[in-house]
Amino acid sequence: MSSVVESGTVRMADRVKELKSRGIDVISFSIGEPDFPTPQHIVDEGISALRAGFTKYTPSAGIPELREAIAEKLRSENGIDAKPSEIIVTPTKHAIFMAVLALVDRGSEVIMPDPAWVSYEPMVRISEGVPVPVRADEETSFRLTPELVAEKINDRTRLIILNSPCNPTGAVMKKEDVAGICELAVDYDLLVISDEIYEKIIYDAANHSPASFEGMRDRVITVNGFSKTYSMTGWRLGYLHADAGLLGGIQKIQTHSITCATSFAQKAGVAALKGPKMPVEKMVAEFRKRRDFVVRRIREIEGLSVVEPKGAFYAFPRYAFEMDSEKMGTYLLDEAHVGVTPGSSFGKFGENHFRISYATDMQSLEKGLDAVEKALGKLG
Ligand code: GLU
């Protein structure tokens, strides 16, 4: 574990919480957590399940009605030929962790974008695999292209991790890039984990699920969940889909780790998938307004530049000050009382950036960015 660093997002969020508990007025742009309540019909379903005594273990892979609803969603919305028996219901982060643990052997190489979500690399290290970052910063307009991926493939390569929309850059993969990477996976017999947790939070772009591409059904583990789309972070509910040939090892880890996902949360998950789409649409419309504001405001601040995000709820500005991003994170917390996640938490190419989660109210965004501008102004 000595080669594994603690999660930068969780660490920063904990620091912000700790400062707040001491009465310090900190604005948090740190963790990626929608500020909206979980929609009422979903909460009601969870409460009804509790009242009805649905409080015991469930089948390890999840309750049948939720696995059916997920398979139906994947078929109709993602074009994935999914069966309920190929779904494991589990917290999304745990889904990725189990897939990596099950599929990566000692010394196997795992290709992933850099910058990328803070936990992919540690998960690979915990599995004694070798993370192989591929540069996907401003130099490529945050694109993970098939050409760059191809350069990294060798006979130890086992897996490619994709995440679109991307945390932390907000980039959405173009269809041709997904298609090109899928072709590589087929040609070199590789597996893909596709983390689609921000699928619904997308602006002027479309999501393309790799498992729907030709020849990919048997080699993609598609991961998604309820935390971001339905503002259900605390319910710890998500899922993965994989072909039966890949599922066995993952399912064993589920039985030896969490046994099953929380019972009443699973009932609420059915309500989320089958219920009205309105709350999600309203939330995304609000995120779009905030995205527009945040991008405009960042571009007004001297020393900052930003590529407009096309999805998720993160902006990933680059700064032009002589300070590493860990120090910058601490500086902004101490000086501006604003919590951001240091760019280096997302990989080497995340250095000289910080991540702003704009899943927070407009007033805090205005106040927080004013404070950031003032603090950066002092650096000259
Ligand atoms: N994925 C979210 C984030 O990046 C939640 C925290 C985490 O799991 O890293 O902020």
CA pair distance 292, 302, nearest whole angstrom: 18
13 close to ligand 1 (CB < 6 Angstrom):
no
118 close to ligand 1 (CB < 6 Angstrom):
yes
Q: Which of 90, 42, 362 minimizes the C-alpha distance to 238? A: 90
31 close to ligand 1 (CB < 6 Angstrom):
yes
pLDDT computed for residue 8 by the predictor = 85
CA pair distance 238, 94, nearest whole angstrom: 9
pLDDT computed for residue 204 by the predictor = 87
Q: Which fold has domain 8-36+278-377?
A: Aspartate Aminotransferase, domain 1 (3.90.1150)
Residue ranges for the chain with pLDDT beneath 70: none
- Residues 6+ away with beta carbon under 8 Å from 345: 7, 8, 9, 12, 118, 325, 355
Number of Cβ within 10 Å of residue 378's Cβ equals 9
CA pair distance 316, 32, nearest whole angstrom: 13
CA pair distance 187, 195, nearest whole angstrom: 22
Q: Which fold has domain 40-274?
A: Aspartate Aminotransferase; domain 2 (3.40.640)
Task: Enter the tokens of residue 153.
Answer: 């493939």
pLDDT computed for residue 380 by the predictor = 75
pLDDT computed for residue 6 by the predictor = 87
pLDDT computed for residue 131 by the predictor = 98
The number of the ligand 1 atom at minimal distance from the alpha carbon of 31 is 10
pLDDT computed for residue 151 by the predictor = 98
pLDDT computed for residue 169 by the predictor = 98
Q: In the chain, what are the domain boundaries? A: 8-36+278-377, 40-274
- Residues 6+ away with beta carbon under 8 Å from 19: 26, 333, 337
Q: For residue 113, say if its preceding peptide bond is cis, omega within 30 degrees of 0.
A: no
Residue nearest to atom 9 of ligand 1 (CA): 9
93 close to ligand 1 (CB < 6 Angstrom):
yes
Residue 223, sorted as left (phi over 0), alpha (psi -120 to 50) or beta, turns out to be beta
Q: What is the DSSP string of 133-173?
A: EEE-SGGGTT---HHHHHHH--TTEEEEEEESS-TTT----
- Based on C-alpha coordinates, what's the Rg of the chain? 20
167 close to ligand 1 (CB < 6 Angstrom):
yes
